[in-house]
Structure 1
């Protein structure tokens, strides 16, 4: 299928970033500034259940991203049609790397029901992280927004005070914070990089320079905001993480799948990513209950048969800009002992909804194979800067 003008990756001109290791798990890890092309952001999501009259459409959703880094969407003109600002993700950085660092808050979601999506970008004059007692941090984005995590990482409060959005979100976590790959002391994936060959530049950035701490894997989020005069108030599932890296994602990532949900007793998240000009499919999967973390693994497709997670698309439906996208997904976890869990995710709405980036809200059903099936709501996305075509085959 013709996808339009293909997005090319920008030349990789990264040097290894200097880690400013935060005292707090959720603190500042790097320092985006005029001398580098680094980005760092704090992301969170609250996802509610559709009203009975709106089954089959998105429930109420609010997702935010507090961003630091080089100005985005200032690329050469042929890319602009793919990225009407904002998208809700820091991708497609200025290919000439001449922009000043900037700070803003991206906000996406649904009021609930068909055609109820909203998207805001709130610019800020600064974006600062300060650390308090223990692991507590405060993020202050000028005068338009703040977020605060408690010293035990059990609660988080986000406030907005801008012309087009005011109000707050309160998170209460029900799971412990974590890095990926069953490690407790580092946010990178480098321990799982292939050892039998030299990595290309994009692979090297992916394994050594992309950090992913998850502060709130699951829990409750209470939302009460007013967006351009319309109130959005609900209680739903909550999630919060942060990412940092030496370059914007599109410069070293071709395809990136991510999702999270709480369904029945289970909390999960996953990533499946392929760097630019690479055959590697890297997976990380987290699955937990109140009793235990069942999995927190990292792996490369084809290297093992247990302690793995896989996200597999099914079917097809019309996507944005003439593309074809999956109509559902099967997410499976195989634990180290061979136990299997399987969940089906079905989209009910997308925001953002672009050829290079779709973030879906939808339904989820599943559990441990052979046992009770649970139902709930989920968020899952396909970040596709390589414009990789989808085929159900």
Structure 2
């Protein structure tokens, strides 16, 4: 019911065939009993391609898409699993099993078809993705579109050769769409869900069981004034904190780093326990400090307005953001900016 278990997860062996300039990956549903090899250093292409081969019981490789409404009076959201919330906050959560998949990678983009589910995504050029859903078994039909407005990146920097793709020990992460102008046009069990908002697409993978190295993590994305931001604050079992900071302004990256001082995310308000424990209820907010390098520091308060999913290990929320840029030297007038975000918390130990 989380990103880990149901969000377009691949299982089985992965076979690669050449198809003109594309690479076609056919993935059967059967789990492999062979040892998995994982990629953790970027190349000149393949940002959104599969990163493990084959997929055994210890490995995972997922593609994740979401949209959060940018209407300040709405808590509408959708995450392709499929789960989300209607504008009034009513949540929905459902999934369907597939019988294999095909992923086609073209340069640094991809298209995917999860056979037997009614879910597919198509890259249609010019930084545009469209998710098509026709899943009568779960009563969902429609489309979700993404037109990217912020450049792709890896945990430690922009989309270039030789980047480290580990956001934490043996956990890979590639963020193809940090922010997008998105439109949701779905029918969910007879109820229309239609809104525009801030879209997002990334992928995670590992050759190890998800809980092997993770104590907790905070992740989120949103649009704050002219800034598109993505945060990742990851705590490993040995107590080491790993982070990834990203900010783009008017479509240009101004910060992308995994240095320890690049970002800090901490819970605020009610239940502001750090690190979070399995028995700790979700907090009512977060504070994000993001280094914008020459522009100064972005200080953001994130307030939970709706919890979309809450189980013992995982919470996904929609919220409002309020932030200011503190210039280098701390001088000058500061303009308060507002925005919307979708974010999550994993907590895996007591």
What TM-score, normalized by structure 1, do the two folds share? 0.70
Post-superposition Cα deviations, 1:276-322, rounded to whole Å, max 9, x if no partner, equal: 2x12111110011016322101023xxx5xxx111121121599997
1:119 maps to what in 2? Answer: 93
Post-superposition Cα deviations, 1:117-170, rounded to whole Å, max 9, x if no partner, equal: 1001121111221234x4442201013110122455x10010111122111101
Post-superposition Cα deviations, 1:228-274, rounded to whole Å, max 9, x if no partner, equal: 11111111111111111112322221101101001110000011111
Give the counterpart of 1:341 among 289, 293, 298: 298
2:208 maps to what in 1? Answer: 247
CA gap 1:376/1:127 in 2 versus in 1, 3 angstroms: same
1:68 maps to what in 2? Answer: none
2:18 maps to what in 1? Answer: none
What TM-score, normalized by structure 2, do the two folds share? 0.78
1:289 maps to what in 2? Answer: 249
Question: Is the 2:230–2:246 contact (alpha carbons within 8 Å) kept by the matching residues of 1?
Answer: yes
Distance 2:265 2:39 in 1: 31
Question: Is the 1:31–1:38 contact (alpha carbons within 8 Å) kept by the matching residues of 2?
Answer: no
3-state secondary structure, aligned to 1:312: strand
CA gap 1:221/1:22 in 2 versus in 1, 3 angstroms: same
Question: Is the 1:135–1:150 contact (alpha carbons within 8 Å) kept by the matching residues of 2?
Answer: no
Q: Which has the higher strand share?
A: 2
Aligned alpha-carbon RMSD (Å)? 2.7
Q: Which shifted more, 321-330 or 370-379?
A: 321-330
1:155 maps to what in 2? Answer: 128
CA gap 1:147/1:186 in 2 versus in 1, 3 angstroms: farther
Give the counterpart of 1:182 among 144, 147, 157: 157
1:315 maps to what in 2? Answer: 269
1:359 maps to what in 2? Answer: 316
Question: Is the 2:68–2:76 contact (alpha carbons within 8 Å) kept by the matching residues of 1?
Answer: yes
CA gap 1:168/1:272 in 2 versus in 1, 3 angstroms: same
Deviation of 1:338 after TM superposition, in Å, equals 7.4
3-state secondary structure, aligned to 2:173: coil
What 5-or-longer segments of structure 2 have no aligned partner? 1-33, 327-332
Distance 1:279 1:321 in 2: 16
3-state secondary structure, aligned to 1:250: helix
Distance 2:199 2:325 in 1: 23
1:261 maps to what in 2? Answer: 222
Count of matched residue pairs: 302
CA gap 1:358/1:30 in 2 versus in 1, 3 angstroms: same
Deviation of 1:216 after TM superposition, in Å, equals 0.8
Q: Which has the higher helix share?
A: 1
Give the counterpart of 2:55 among 28, 33, 42: 33
CA gap 1:50/1:23 in 2 versus in 1, 3 angstroms: closer
Question: Is the 1:32–1:39 contact (alpha carbons within 8 Å) kept by the matching residues of 2?
Answer: no
Give the counterpart of 2:67 among 43, 46, 61: 46
Give the counterpart of 2:334 among 362, 371, 380: 371
Question: Is the 1:137–1:150 contact (alpha carbons within 8 Å) kept by the matching residues of 2?
Answer: no
Give the counterpart of 1:17 among 18, 28, 37: 37
Deviation of 1:15 after TM superposition, in Å, equals 6.8
3-state secondary structure, aligned to 1:347: strand
Question: Is the 2:48–2:105 contact (alpha carbons within 8 Å) kept by the matching residues of 1?
Answer: no
Distance 1:233 1:327 in 2: 27
Distance 2:228 2:204 in 1: 20
Question: Is the 1:320–1:354 contact (alpha carbons within 8 Å) kept by the matching residues of 2?
Answer: no
Deviation of 1:45 after TM superposition, in Å, equals 0.9
CA gap 1:299/1:148 in 2 versus in 1, 3 angstroms: same
What 5-or-longer segments of structure 1 have no aligned partner? 1-13, 65-105, 193-205, 388-393
